Structure 1
């Protein structure tokens, strides 16, 4: 936007300079006569020589012919000619170019207005809409699929925003497929690790029996039993490693530490959801708060709050979603709550686990990762998140360090 303003200012200044140069040129040209009166004076001299007539009706630039008296006194432009032995004063008019100058300035003014109109049109229909969209690809690349994409009816960006929305839906669909594959993989690994432990126990028992010399060739059988037992221990170790790997979180997150004012985060959240909730008839209540500087990744904190509000929209009854604030032990607390909580108290410890979905999520699409992602992000930012149920309201609180 700033680059466009600079280019626009440069174009306007350049145009004004060119217009001033043209005016100067026209003014200087207006001060020089064309010399047409001299040609007519020569033709008049020839006529007087031939016929003696001083009629000037055929010479538009000549205004009078005088002889005798004081030839050199006149308030008009004149020149002296000689014909048939007499001296004449021939008066003439110098053509004015003020009309040309005025016309040129009017044309330049019209072009200037067209230039301003063109720059305004480009700014309104191209630069400003593009400015509203330039952060969308970055947010999509970061995995924030809840980033708002402003609707654009402009013929320049209407298809573009439609295409970006299709891209976001495709990314969301691919993410769902990937998460489904990851979940299946995780469940498979856990199942295999559990199933392998049973035959491993039998192998170890047989190996111990062999090691006790229950066979005739005791030396060989003991050696074989020890080998089986050793291999079984190795397999058991591998199984433990598989179990450990399957139990670890498979999603990686990047957090960039920074600082942001609380008011900035709340303004972004309100701008995103207030119009949407107003249309659906849901009251979006934001309690009063004291502005402060938070130590966090601003984009990741905004993503956490977006996830919480999205959950409130999905699982609430649509009557009210609220934001409340508090301070405690050098931390800022932001609580997102919604009416119509149908989750049971006993489920609260599990809601932050990956792929966990509560009993109230039967008819709501999701993958059980929203709160899991919030917890991971808050942990990486040195904060915390916890949930509670108060008077049939589901409340989730983010704890953010003060800068």
Structure 2
């Protein structure tokens, strides 16, 4: 089946030929009408002269001189009529020929222009669409700004670039997903191997004192915590990768959630609730607790041994939950990117994890109509979740 561009070219050629033929016919008819107008005047003159001669012949048949003059005038008029007819035919033929040539030239020019300006770009667009449908997003679509289709073809090429960018982003995300899984798997093997070594040492009776046994037991607890944290990261990564974190918001009292999160982590660090205002917010209770736990866990991980202060204030239409540690803080160049998925700053190279905790907290805060922002508090880092207050 012929392509649409080829069909359009054939239609333009047919329209051009039909237009040329119509112009030639119209020109010929116009010339014929004008020429016939001049010949009609000569015919009338011939008829009048013929009538005058007959009248002379009837009234003065013996007047030879008048008859000869009338015959000469009649012959001259007839010659003029014949010359006019011949001139008309020659002029009409020349005019029609000239008109035909000019018309053909003009229509040919118009057809070529329409082919280049309309048919050819249309054919390119058709081929481009087929390439895109086949998955080829690397071939650019050439266009000219002076062409009537220039802006249209530019829009198609811009679409190709956006599709190509989206595909590459998807490929990068897939590679990041694989890298994160590989990193989590590697990180998980380390505490598991340590757990096995400590457990085997205890089982084989290699511990010589109660103090050493207690140290082994504390090490096992630490490694269990590390493994548990990595498993949670793996679970959250799977959810975030598929965008399947369900958030069901409803009016909830925020203060009990904040206090419970602080209490649950109190055995891991010195946590103080400096101020917790009672207020109602539109949120998912479990997801809000998850976001706060991530912030507390992040503070414990990167500010080990530091005190952690928590404040929850209801002011200016916002419920602000702030988690601050007194550790080394975050390098300033890392702060703008810390909530991106898989991002790990310069101070995270020696810490287990996959760079998902702050991303998950930020994502959940946004799903609940709020936001998360980070700022270095000098000393330490302050992570704040802001949620709209309900009236």
Name the TM tier (shorter chain): 0.3 to 0.5
Larger Rg: 2
Structure with more relative contact order (C-alpha pairs < 8 Å, separation 6 or more): 2
TM (norm. structure 1) is 0.40
Q: Between Structure 1 and Structure 2, which shows a larger proportion of helix residues?
A: 2
